[in-house]
């Protein structure tokens, strides 16, 4: 769990994870394509991996591995406040850890040092990012750096409380904001950040309403936060602070922070939000303002490369199954019934895939990462005809970003700057009706779009724990300012 915080830094953009593990499940229609020659596949795999590694490397150089590791350490180095303010003075941590009662084994090698006793995290602690040693680029799920798939250790900083801190709690004014779309667990993270800051002794904690907009809209006032205020907010979905997309210019945001005396900023959001957090950090640094900015990564799609799981994903999958179950009942109860469910997933199909796997009722799962055809001998419609003839019904689960090449292109953008997607669910529904009418087979098609329903509920137990860890580690990170 300590590795979760290592994406919590405004110093780099959140890389997206656009590939899925391969599961041998015959019930799902996932086209499998094999290259005619192994070396072509190997070349493609290595090429795909090296695109993400950063600088060009000469694999004939005997020191390439060392150079790669140094570059990785440089790019993922977490900035410390002393990098900007070398004269910053540390004080002993105000976060107290309960000591356990010593036992005889503790004295086997002599009297334990203070470091062994109090349980703080050492600044030199690291966590191994990847634990699988792939021996071939053709292995399932392999991500290789060089053509021989050489094992290269990649280490990231360990999260947790440190012995020394660089902000005096009585001088801190911390602000929290949530941006982008809703996600189960936002209130859980807000709650734990507030609780952790209060444990350190921070008294001035405020919430900025409706994301970055709250810094510029004069009608929006900051919300005082305390343990009493946030005690039960995790029992509800949504965000106590409200959300919005976009925001004012960075200079205006930093001006507002300076005017309000904010020297700690917690930002909960996705790619665009973290780009804004990074810009705020750079502007504060340019102005020599002693401000710490921490980003807590949020995406319901579970597509951040360095994280095993993002908060809200488990809850979304759980809620998505309700729609799939409804589609199954509708399809199974009708003569030649077809149920279509469209789920969130602009660039990745993790929600659609996991909900399909968990339900066990989906016959066809369509995701953005895997190209498919609707028509033709290997098309979805031909397979659907087979399912109707053999099973009498079928259920299709499709991610919103799948099959966009079948739809008319648009230049329209949303508030976050993303291209507005066409409705692939409606398109598939229309194509099914047209196809089966043409071949004289009656079908009863039901289309369910629970897009926003799956993101509005409270976090389930699994996400609640993850949010607690993220919120607590964000508080640790901010106060130590490492």
Cα atoms found within 13 Å of the Cα of residue 221, Cβ hemisphere only: 2
Q: Which of 188, 301, 363, 463 is catalytic?
A: 301
The candidate with the shortest Cα–Cα distance to 458, out of 65, 188, 194, is: 188
Distances (CA, A) of 340 to 69, 215, 365, 428, 431: 46, 42, 10, 8, 12
Q: Which residues contact 22 (CB under 8 A, 6 or more apart)?
A: 140, 141
Q: How far apart are CA 412 and CA 418, in angstroms?
A: 8
Q: What are phi and psi of 294, to 5 degrees?
A: -125, 130
301 assigned to active site? yes
Q: What are phi and psi of 457, to 5 degrees?
A: -80, 170
Q: How far apart are CA 471 and CA 194, in angstroms?
A: 8
User: What positions carry a catalytic annotation?
Assistant: 301
């Amino acid at each position: 769990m300590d590795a979760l915080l290592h994406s919590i830094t405004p110093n780099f953009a959140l890389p997206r994870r656009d590939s899925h593990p391969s599961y041998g499940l015959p019930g799902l229609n996932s086209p499998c394509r094999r290259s005619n020659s192994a070396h072509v596949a190997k070349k493609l795999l290595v090429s795909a991996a090296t695109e993400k590694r950063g600088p060009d490397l000469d694999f004939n150089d005997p020191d390439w591995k060392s150079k790669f590791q140094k570059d990785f350490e440089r790019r993922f180095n977490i900035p410390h406040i002393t990098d900007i303010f070398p004269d910053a003075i540390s004080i002993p941590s105000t976060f107290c850890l309960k000591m356990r009662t010593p036992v005889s084994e503790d004295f086997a090698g002599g009297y334990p040092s203070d470091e062994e006793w109090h349980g703080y995290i050492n600044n030199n602690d690291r966590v191994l990012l990847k634990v699988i040693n792939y021996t071939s680029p053709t292995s399932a799920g392999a991500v290789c750096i060089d053509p021989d798939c050489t094992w290269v250790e990649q280490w990231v900083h360990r999260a947790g409380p440190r012995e020394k801190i660089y902000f005096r709690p009585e001088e801190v004014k911390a602000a929290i904001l949530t941006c982008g779309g809703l996600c189960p667990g936002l209130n859980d993270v807000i709650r734990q950040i507030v609780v952790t800051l209060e444990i350190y002794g921070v008294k001035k904690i405020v919430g900025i309403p409706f994301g970055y907009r709250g810094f510029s809209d004069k009608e929006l006032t900051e919300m005082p936060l305390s343990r009493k205020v946030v005690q039960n907010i995790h029992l509800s979905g949504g965000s106590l602070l409200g959300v919005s997309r976009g925001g004012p210019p960075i200079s205006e945001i930093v001006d507002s922070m300076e005017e309000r005396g904010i020297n700690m900023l917690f930002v909960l959001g996705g790619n665009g939000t973290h780009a804004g957090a990074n810009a705020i950090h750079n502007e504060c640094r340019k102005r020599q303002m002693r401000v710490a900015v921490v980003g807590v990564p949020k995406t319901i799609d579970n597509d951040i490369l360095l994280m095993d799981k993002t908060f809200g994903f488990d809850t979304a999958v759980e809620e998505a199954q309700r729609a799939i179950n409804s589609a199954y009942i509708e399809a199974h109860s009708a003569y030649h019934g077809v149920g279509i469910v469209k789920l969130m997933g602009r660039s990745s199909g993790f929600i659609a895939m996991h909900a399909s796997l968990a339900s066990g009722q989906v016959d066809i799962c369509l995701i953005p990462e895997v190209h498919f055809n609707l028509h033709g001998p290997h098309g979805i419609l031909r397979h659907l005809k087979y399912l109707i003839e053999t099973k009498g019904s079928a259920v299709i689960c499709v991610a919103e970003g799948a099959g966009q090449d079948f739809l008319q292109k648009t230049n329209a953008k949303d508030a976050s700057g993303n291209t507005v997607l066409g409705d692939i669910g409606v398109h598939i529904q229309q194509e099914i009706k047209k196809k089966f009418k043409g071949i004289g087979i009656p079908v009863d098609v039901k289309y369910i779009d629970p897009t926003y329903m799956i993101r509005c509920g409270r976090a389930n137990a699994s996400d609640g724990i993850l949010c607690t860890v993220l919120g607590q580690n964000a508080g640790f990170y901010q106060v130590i300012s490492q």
